[in-house]
Every structure is written in structure tokens, then in C-alpha cells.
Amino acid sequence: MMIIPDEEPEQQVDSSGDEEGSWQILADDDVEYSEDDELFLDDNNGMFTAPASNYDYDSNQDNMDMDVDDLWILLWIFKFQERFRQSDVAIDTLIGFFSLVLKDANSHWFKKFPPTVYKARKILDIKKKSKTFAICTDCNKLYDIASIIPANSNDNEFSGFKCTHVEFPKHPMQKYRECCGSELLMKVPVNNGYNWRPKMLYPLLCLKSQLSMMYQRSGFEQLLKKWINRDN
């Protein structure tokens, strides 16, 4: 009984070279890249180049604790997080790894490179798209903090701000048309006197960001269909 081994696949070689043949090597211009590779490639096909970031930051470069020429590293990391939807924990680990490697390569040049994602966002002045309001503790009415606390709040003439919300402005009975009248501010003692601060704060996140976080939840599509199999 003879056992015939499987035929090995033929190797494609370029016979235009020497007599023994040589492997065909594609030139850089012949390589096709997908759209996802555009994140990492520049005009010179260099890996891990600084991408164009769409983050809005208003950092003052004169007072910055880090060399401006090195900011592209942080921008690339945050762009990487946005493109591949990485968590803050993963990006914090990545920034910490970059910090160790860069400081080991040149401790003097990268001595102010941030070791955490919190400090990196602080350098770039990246903030969450949210707005904080003062809230009435009685009727839950929201107020803009800047509109209820004047710039010269330490002035003795300023005595606080009371809620002006009317729950039933068209009610036939006068007592239901009265303002809430609840005090929204309180005095906070400081070294040179006191400051006025809201009794309660309400952070309101951007609706677009909230919807994006909800849609990206793991198993979100299955949760939408869960009501079909619910118990009647």
C-alpha cells in the first residue's frame, strides 16, 4: 500500500531574477490600504503619525507644563480612543505605558509627560460637554449659576437669591400663584470672608453624548428586543 503525500501548494516566484528564482516583493506603491489605515498613515506612509484631532481645547501654550511639540502624542492617543471606542481605563493604562517608555528614553525631555488620563485631559483642557445648574431644593427649578451669583457677591448689599418659580401662574386662587421663595444660595466661609454657593447643584450632560453612550452599550440591540419575550 502506497501513501501518496498531499501536494504542497506551488510557490509563486518571479523567474525574471536569478536562476533559482526569488520571491516577488511588492513595492510600497502597490500595497492597498483600507480606510481604517488612514488613521495611522501620513503622506510618507509613516506609522503612528499625529492625526488631526477634533477635540476642542483652549490651552494657553505659554503657561503649559509640557512641550507643545509633544502634544501630538496625547492627541493621537485620544484619537485612538475615539476611533476604536476604548474605555477610559484602557486609555489610562496606555498613557501610563507611554509615560514610562518616553521617560526611560529621555527623562529630561519627557519629564512632564502626564502619567494618567486625568492629567492628560487637564493639559489639553478637554472637558465633558456638560453644564452645571443651581437647583431649588423645594420645586426643583433650574437656574444658571452665573445669573444668580453676581461678580461682587462679597458685597454686604447682596443677601442671596430666592426662587422665583411659580408652579401655577394661571391658577384662579392667589395663594397658588405665589413664587416659591426658597433660598438657593448659602454662605461658605473662606479666609478673607465668605462666598456664596448654591445649596444644590445639578450637572446636565450633553444629550448627544448621552445618546451616544446609550447606543454603544454592550448588548443594546438585544435589550431593545427584550420586550418581545417579556412575561405577560
The reported pLDDT for the residue numbered 60 is 45
The reported pLDDT for the residue numbered 69 is 63
The reported pLDDT for the residue numbered 46 is 40
The reported pLDDT for the residue numbered 191 is 85
Q: Which residues pair with residue 194 across a beta bridge? A: 189
The reported pLDDT for the residue numbered 67 is 57
The reported pLDDT for the residue numbered 21 is 42
What is the mean pLDDT, run by run of 10 residues, along the chain of 232 residues?
50 45 42 43 40 42 54 90 85 94 91 90 77 91 90 74 92 90 90 87 80 79 78 62
* Alpha carbons 146 and 171: distance in angstroms, whole number: 31
The reported pLDDT for the residue numbered 227 is 76
28 phi and psi angles, rounded to 5 deg: -60, -30
The reported pLDDT for the residue numbered 128 is 67
CB neighbours (10 Å) of residue 198? 20
**Exposure class string for 81-104: b at 16+ Cβ within 10 A, else e:** beeeeeeeeebeeebeebbeebbe
CA atoms within 13 A on the CB side of 34: 1
Burial class (CB in 10 A: 0-12, 13-18, 19+), 40: middle
